[in-house]
Structure 1
Amino acid sequence: MLIGIIGFFAGIIGGMGMGGGTILIPALILFASIDPKLAQSINLLSSIPMTIAALSIHIKKKNVDFELVLPIVLFGIVGAFFGSTLAEYLSSNILRKCFGVFLLIIGIFEIQKGYMHKDKNKK
């Protein structure tokens, strides 16, 4: 049941375009005691059907700029190759810490952006 709830919320976040892995990976590590490398591979595999479902809706609503997609996909494939190769050489403990720092940095940027946007609305 816990895994299903984690998947449900990861699907919501992924469908909104924010990356379900930001929910799925930490939840699998913290609540289901799954090794970070396994959590990453579960995230990648489970994201395929979630991405297809969300993408079909975004394409129907004409929310996709295909000219931007091509370079992102091409460079993303190269980055995915290097990232997955690097992950094989790093320990799970280091990967856990790197992902935590990444989420912290993203959180700080989002909070800062929220405050800057709030100040613009007051003017």
Structure 2
Amino acid sequence: MILFLIGLISGIISGMGIGGGTILIPALVIFANPDQHIAQSVNLIFFIPTAVIALIVHIRNKRVDFKVAIPIIIFGLLGAYLGSRLAIRLPGIVLKKYFGFFLLVLGVCEIIRKDKQKVSEKKLRQAGQRS
């Protein structure tokens, strides 16, 4: 049952374009206890069908800018190749620490971004009140 819930929640987040791996990998490691390489491999296999479905929905709703997407895809493929070669060479515990550090940095960046957004909104409201 826990794997069903992990898959469902990760799928919903993936469909929103947020990145289901941020939920799927830690949840697998915590609740199913596979090796880090296995958890990340499961994430990659999980990503393919969920990405295809989400992409179809977003293209139908005209939410994809192909001029922006094409160069990102090309360099993303290069980065995926290089990253997978690196991941294969790293011990599982090191890979787990790198992934944890990545999630920590991502969380801090998100908090900072939200704070800056709130400050900008506050300044806009104050400017609107003065007019």
Do the structures match in fold with TM over 0.5? yes
1: CA distance, partners of 2:60 / 2:19: 20
Paired position in structure 2 for 1:39:
39
4+ residue segments displaced more than 4 Å:
none
Paired position in structure 2 for 1:82:
82
1: CA distance, partners of 2:26 / 2:68: 29
Q: CA RMSD in A?
A: 0.8
Larger Rg: 2
Paired position in structure 1 for 2:15:
15
Matches within 5 A, 1:44-63: 44-63=44-63
Please report the TM-score for the alignment, with normalisation by the length of structure 2. 0.91
Instruction: Determine if the alignment matches structure 1 residue 93 to structure 2 residue 93.
Output: yes
Query: Which amino acid letter does the alignment assign opposite residue 88 of structure 1?
Result: I
How many matched pairs? 123
| Long gaps (5+) in structure 2 | 124-131
Percent of pairs with identical residues: 50
2: CA distance, partners of 1:87 / 1:27: 19
Q: Note the C-alpha offset of 1:116.
A: 1.1
| Long gaps (5+) in structure 1 | none
Query: What is the SS of the residue equivalent to 2:64?
Result: coil
Please report the TM-score for the alignment, with normalisation by the length of structure 1. 0.96
1: CA distance, partners of 2:45 / 2:13: 16
Q: Note the C-alpha offset of 1:119.
A: 1.5
Query: Which amino acid letter does the alignment assign opposite residue 5 of structure 1?
Result: L
1: CA distance, partners of 2:119 / 2:92: 41
Query: What is the SS of the residue equivalent to 2:33?
Result: coil
Q: Note the C-alpha offset of 1:120.
A: 1.6
